C-alpha cells in the first residue's frame, strides 16, 4: 500500500505509479512481516524477508543474491564498531537493495520499458537489474559524468543518454522521456525504500535481535536513512526488537541541508548553498524527503553531523589499512565517528554500527588523483 506524504491519499499498489496524483512522493507500508523463526532455513540474501516487500509472486523476483552483507567488528578512531559492508552488493553499492525490490515490482506490473536519471551508483544498479529482467532501460546521466560510471551503466546493457547542462536538466529530460515509459527513479519509487528496509532487518538479525546504541549512516536523498528507520519500526511493530537505535545522519559539510534543518530545529530543510564535495553520492541540496528524514532523526533521539572533504580523505586510508576499500562518499560515514567521540556523543562502551555504501573501485580515477603521492 502507498500513502501520499503530503495529502494522505492511499493507493493499493496494484497498478504502476511512482507518485501521488497531487505530485508528492508516496510512503510504502509493508503488507506483512517475515516470520522470524523461519529465517534460519532461508537463503542468505535479502529475499529472506520476502513478506515485507509487497511483491505478490516469488516468480517475479529479479535477484543476483544481493544483501546479507557481512557485519564485521573492527576499531576506528579508538572506537569498537561493526562495519556493514554494503559495498559488496552485486553492482558495488547498497543501491542494489532498493533496485532488486523496485525492479521485481516493475516486472510484476508487466512494464517493459523504464527511464531513470542518475549520475552514478543508482544508474549502474538499475541498468544491471533491468536488463537482467528483460526490461529496456534508458538511463539519463549528466554529460559531465565520469567515464568509469558511464562505462558500468552502458556495459550492463542500458541505453545511456547523456544530457548537457546541470543534474537538474538531466532529471527534466528523463521526466520528458517518461511520457512513453515508466519513470523508475530511485528517489521517488516507494518500492525502492521498501528494499532498503532490509538493511534494518539484517542488522537486527546479525546482532541476534539486540538493538545497537547507534547506527551511523550517510544521507543524500535519504532513501537509505528512511529505509533504516521504517525497517526498524516494522521490527518494533512485530515485537522482534524492543527499542530503536539512535540514528546518525552524516552529510558533507559542503552540502548539508539535513544538518542545517536539524541544527536550526526546523521542520523542513532550508535552502542551502551547495559547494563541490568529494562525497558526490550525498551531494543533494534539496532532498525531496527532507521533512521525513528530520522526523526520523528526532524520533530516534539521533543526531545529524557533517564531515569535511579533508576528514573524508583522511579516513579512507584508515579503512583501507583494515582491508575495507570504499569510495570517498562512503568514507564520510566512518569519518564522523571521530567527531562524535570527541564531542562525547558516542561513548567507548556504546555498540555502534557503521554503514559502508560504495566500493572503492567505483572511484579509481579520483583515488589515483588524490593519493598519487603514495605510489608515484
Ligand X SMILES: *Cc1c(COP(=O)(O)O)cnc(C)c1O
- Do strands 10-11 and 2-4 pair parallel, antiparallel, or not at all (unpaired)? antiparallel
Binding track over 52-91 against Zn ion, x by CB under 5 A = ----------------------------------------
Collapsing DSSP to helix, strand or coil, 281 comes out as: helix
Member of 2, 13, 19, 20 binding Zn ion (CB under 5 A): 20
Binding track over 218-237 against ligand X, x by CB under 6 A = xxxxxxxx------------
Q: Is 285 left (phi over 0), alpha (psi -120 to 50) or beta?
A: alpha
Burial 132-143 (b: 16+ CB within 10 A, else e): bbebebbbbbbe
Taking contact as CB under 5 A, which single stretch among the options 19-27, 212-220, 223-231, 276-284 is the one that binds Zn ion? Answer: 19-27
Q: Which is nearer to ligand X, 4 or 224 (CB)?
A: 224
Q: Does 7 bind Zn ion (CB under 5 A)?
A: yes
Closest approach, Cβ 86 to ligand X, in A, equals 9
Helices (H), 300-348: 309-320, 328-342
Binding track over 108-137 against ligand X, x by CB under 6 A = -------------x----------------
Tell me if 177 sits within 8 A of 115, measured CB to CB.
yes
Q: Does 142 bind ligand X (CB under 6 A)?
A: no
Q: Which is nearer to ligand X, 54 or 290 (CB)?
A: 290
Write out the three cell numbers for 5: 506524504
Closest approach, Cβ 226 to ligand X, in A, equals 8
Member of 190, 281, 334, 360 binding ligand X (CB under 6 A): 281
DSSP classification of residue 358: B
Beta bridge partners of 142: 163
Closest approach, Cβ 193 to Zn ion, in A, equals 16
- C-alpha 303/C-alpha 202 separation (Å) is 22
Q: Does 151 bind Zn ion (CB under 5 A)?
A: no
User: Nearest 10 degrees: CA dihedral of 359, 212, 200, 330?
Assistant: -20
Collapsing DSSP to helix, strand or coil, 125 comes out as: helix
Taking contact as CB under 6 A, which single stretch among the options 107-115, 148-156, 214-222, 364-372 is the one that binds ligand X? Answer: 214-222
**What is the binding site for Zn ion (CB under 5 A)?**
4, 6-7, 9, 20, 22, 24
Amino acid at each position: 500500500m502507498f500513502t501520499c506524504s503530503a495529502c494522505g491519499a492511499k493507493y493499493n499498489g496494484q497498478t504502476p505509479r511512482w507518485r501521488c496524483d497531487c505530485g508528492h512522493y508516496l510512503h510504502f507500508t509493508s503488507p506483512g512481516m517475515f516470520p522470524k523463526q523461519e529465517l534460519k532455513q532461508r537463503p542468505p540474501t535479502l529475499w529472506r524477508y520476502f513478506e515485507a516487500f509487497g511483491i505478490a509472486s516469488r516468480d517475479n523476483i529479479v535477484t543476483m543474491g544481493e544483501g546479507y552483507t557481512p557485519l564485521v567488528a573492527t576499531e576506528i578512531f579508538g572506537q569498537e564498531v561493526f562495519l556493514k559492508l554494503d559495498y559488496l552488493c552485486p553492482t558495488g553499492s547498497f543501491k542494489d537493495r532498493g533496485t532488486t525490490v523496485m525492479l521485481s515490482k516493475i516486472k510484476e506490473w508487466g512494464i517493459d520499458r523504464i527511464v531513470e536519471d542518475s549520475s552514478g551508483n543508482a544508474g549502474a544498479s538499475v541498468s544491471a537489474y533491468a536488463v537482467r529482467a528483460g526490461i529496456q532501460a534508458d538511463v539519463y546521466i549528466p554529460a559531465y559524468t565520469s567515464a568509469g560510471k558511464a562505462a558500468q551503466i552502458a556495459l550492463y546493457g542500458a541505453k545511456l543518454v547523456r544530457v548537457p547542462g546541470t543534474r537538474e536538466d538531466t532529471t527534466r529530460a528523463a521526466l520528458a522521456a517518461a511520457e512513453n515509459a515508466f519513470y523508475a527513479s530511485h528517489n521517488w519509487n516507494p518500492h525502492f525504500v521498501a528494499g532498503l528496509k532490509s538493511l534494518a532487518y539484517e542488522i537486527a538479525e546479525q546482532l541476534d535481535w539486540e538493538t545497537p546504541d547507534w547506527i551511523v549512516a550517510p544521507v543524500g536523498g535519504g532513501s537509505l536513512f528512511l529505509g533504516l528507520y521504517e525497517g526498524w519500526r516494522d521490527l518494533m511493530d512485530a515485537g522482534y526488537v524492543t527499542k530503536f537505535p539512535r540514528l546518525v545522519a552524516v552529510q558533507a559539510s559542503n552540502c548539508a541541508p539535513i544538518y542545517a534543518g536539524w541544527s536550526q530545529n526546523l521542520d523542513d530543510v532550508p535552502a542551502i548553498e551547495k559547494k563541490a564535495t568529494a562525497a558526490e553520492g550525498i551531494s543533494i541540496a534539496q532532498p525531496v524527503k527532507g521533512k521525513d528524514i528530520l522526523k526520523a532523526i528526532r524520533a530516534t533521539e539521533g543526531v545529524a553531523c557533517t564531515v569535511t572533504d579533508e576528514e573524508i580523505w583522511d579516513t579512507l586510508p584508515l579503512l583501507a589499512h583494515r582491508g575495507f576499500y570504499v569510495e570517498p562518499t562512503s568514507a564520510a560515514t566512518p569519518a564522523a565517528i571521530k567527531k562524535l567521540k570527541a564531542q562525547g556523543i558516542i561513548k567507548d562502551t556504546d555498540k555502534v554500527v557503521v554503514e559502508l555504501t560504495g566500493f572503492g573501485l567505483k572511484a579509481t580515477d579520483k583515488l589515483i588523483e588524490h593519493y598519487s603521492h603514495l605510489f608515484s
